[in-house]
């Protein structure tokens, strides 16, 4: 069995929260021969935040042009490199447009989510083509029951052709090893409580709500700090959040760390007293799972896929409820019995999600075509 692995742009970088991570973790565990079909993208791999409106407008035009060129280059590459008789696996919904131009027999598309279409209301030509291409897939792999329901709803795609393969945790990297040493890089002492947020600053992540809840929490726990890991990835996202931080006089209390290599991420999870992930719309949500695997209590949203991730191990709340978020953070940080119970449940919950299991499920989906 050989798979034409249509994997998009070539990269040696393994981001800790990305599509590429999901595919890399599964690929290294697959017992299958892969004909990897990639290309060298003209687009930068990482999203940038542009605070100047004129610069953003010019940059958006440039990005749109490069995306269009990349699209046609990749269609040409795939057409020339696929092999007759191979199973065709398009590894992201962002390349589903290929199915509109090339007839690929025995094809699979991995669709993590349709956030641009549903949440961002993106009706650009590329997303119209991706949605049309998804409808042509023989099988769609997705990463949660929630995403499966969204695909069925917005694509009118038959349920019997959707397979769920959950993301997971590498338990050899993400495990309980409580140690606050890494916080000394930020001049945070061992006796200070730390709220951790991992993710971008795009609107669906609800970072402003978290900042407001943190401001309320700080009135009860004066020495507490909030650490934010991850790049902005949104126009004016950082600017608006910095203004909010200034308005609440939190300049010394909310610390932006930026990008962290994956090998260092477990240290940050293990150093935090709590992870808060107030995302309003998520296809899955790796940060809560990785935090639980490291023995960090989790508060997250009661919406979209996040209940599938945390189960009864975390506290789930309305992601717009500032007062409740502040109250629940205070409860976890001041109630050792509650905290210990959440840690134990989280460690047990995280064990359910295993990359070996995900790779095995993927291999069984390939076998459906044999």
Surface-to-core class of residue 312, CB atoms within 10 Å of its CB (0-12 exposed, 13-18 middle, 19+ buried): exposed
**Average pLDDT value for residue range 148-165:** 97
**Average pLDDT value for residue range 5-14:** 75
Quick check: 15 pLDDT over 50? Answer: no
Quick check: 12 pLDDT over 60? Answer: no
Q: What pLDDT, on a 0 to 100 scale, did the predictor assign at position 273?
A: 98
Q: What pLDDT, on a 0 to 100 scale, did the predictor assign at position 18?
A: 59
Q: What pLDDT, on a 0 to 100 scale, did the predictor assign at position 49?
A: 47
Q: What pLDDT, on a 0 to 100 scale, did the predictor assign at position 11?
A: 67
Q: What pLDDT, on a 0 to 100 scale, did the predictor assign at position 21?
A: 84
Cα separation of 193 and 222, whole Å? 10
Residue 135 CA neighbour count, 13 Å, CB half: 11
pLDDT band at 61 (very low <50, low <70, confident <90, very high): confident
pLDDT tens, 203-225?
999 999 999 999 999 999 999 99
- In the chain, CATH 3.40.50.2000 covers 2-168+354-367, 181-350
**Average pLDDT value for residue range 196-205:** 93
Q: What pLDDT, on a 0 to 100 scale, did the predictor assign at position 55?
A: 59
Beta-sheet strand order (sheet of 274-277): 254-258, 225-229, 194-198, 274-277, 298-301, 315-317
Q: What pLDDT, on a 0 to 100 scale, did the predictor assign at position 318?
A: 97
Q: Per this entry, what is the length of the chain?
A: 370
pLDDT band at 59 (very low <50, low <70, confident <90, very high): low
Q: Is the pLDDT higher at 43 or at 242?
A: 242
pLDDT tens, 86-144?
999 999 999 999 999 999 999 999 999 999 999 999 999 999 999 999 999 999 999 99
Q: What CATH number belongs to 2-168+354-367?
A: 3.40.50.2000
**Highest averaged pLDDT of the listed ranges 7-21, 42-56, 133-147, 224-238:** 133-147
Surface-to-core class of residue 191, CB atoms within 10 Å of its CB (0-12 exposed, 13-18 middle, 19+ buried): exposed
Cα separation of 270 and 344, whole Å? 14
Nearest to 243 by CA among 265, 211, 270: 211
Percentage of residues of the chain with pLDDT beyond 90: 81
Quick check: 39 pLDDT over 50? Answer: yes
Q: What pLDDT, on a 0 to 100 scale, did the predictor assign at position 242?
A: 93
Quick check: 14 pLDDT over 70? Answer: no
**Average pLDDT value for residue range 6-25:** 72
- Give yes or no for a contact between 192 and 170, defined as CB atoms under 8 angstroms apart: no
Quick check: 16 pLDDT over 60? Answer: no
Q: What CATH number belongs to 181-350?
A: 3.40.50.2000
**Average pLDDT value for residue range 321-325:** 98
Q: What pLDDT, on a 0 to 100 scale, did the predictor assign at position 63?
A: 73
pLDDT tens, 212-258?
999 999 999 999 999 999 888 766 678 889 999 999 999 999 999 98
pLDDT band at 10 (very low <50, low <70, confident <90, very high): confident
pLDDT band at 17 (very low <50, low <70, confident <90, very high): very low
pLDDT tens, 346-367?
999 999 999 999 999 999 999 9
Q: Is the pLDDT higher at 66 or at 335?
A: 335
pLDDT band at 44 (very low <50, low <70, confident <90, very high): low
């Amino acid at each position: 069995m050989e798979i034409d692995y249509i994997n998009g742009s070539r990269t040696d970088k393994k981001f800790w929260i990305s599509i590429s991570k999901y595919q890399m973790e599964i690929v290294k565990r697959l017992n299958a021969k892969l004909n990897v079909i990639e290309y060298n993208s003209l687009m930068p791999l990482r999203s940038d935040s542009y605070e100047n409106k004129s610069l953003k407008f010019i940059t958006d035009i440039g990005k749109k042009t490069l995306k269009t060129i990349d699209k046609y280059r990749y269609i040409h590459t795939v057409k020339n490199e696929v092999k007759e008789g191979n199973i065709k696996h398009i590894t992201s919904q962002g390349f589903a447009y290929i199915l509109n131009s090339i007839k690929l027999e025995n094809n699979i598309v991995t669709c993590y989510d349709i956030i641009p279409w549903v949440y961002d209301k993106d009706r650009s030509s590329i997303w119209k083509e991706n949605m049309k291409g998804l409808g042509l897939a023989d099988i769609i792999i997705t990463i949660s029951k929630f995403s499966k329901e969204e695909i069925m709803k917005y694509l009118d795609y038959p349920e019997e052709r959707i397979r769920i393969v959950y993301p997971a945790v590498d338990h050899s990297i993400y495990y309980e090893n409580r140690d606050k040493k890494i916080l000394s890089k930020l001049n945070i002492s061992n006796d200070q409580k730390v709220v951790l947020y991992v993710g971008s600053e795009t609107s669906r992540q609800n970072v402003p709500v978290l900042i407001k809840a943190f401001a309320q929490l700080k009135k009860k726990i004066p020495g507490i700090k909030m650490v934010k890991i991850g790049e902005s990835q949104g126009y004016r996202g950082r600017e608006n959040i910095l203004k909010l931080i200034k308005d609440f006089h939190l300049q010394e209390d909310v610390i932006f760390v930026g990008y962290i290599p994956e090998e260092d991420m477990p240290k940050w999870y293990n150093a935090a007293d709590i992870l808060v992930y107030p995302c309003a719309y998520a296809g899955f949500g790796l940060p809560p799972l990785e935090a639980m695997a490291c023995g960090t209590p989790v508060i997250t949203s009661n919406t979209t896929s996040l209940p599938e991730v945390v189960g009864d191990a975390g506290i789930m709340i309305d992601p717009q409820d500032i007062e409740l978020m502040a109250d629940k953070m205070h409860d976890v940080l001041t109630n050792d019995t509650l905290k210990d119970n959440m840690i134990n449940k989280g460690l047990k919950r995280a064990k359910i999600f295993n990359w070996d299991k995900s790779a095995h499920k993927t291999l069984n989906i390939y076998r459906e075509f044999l």
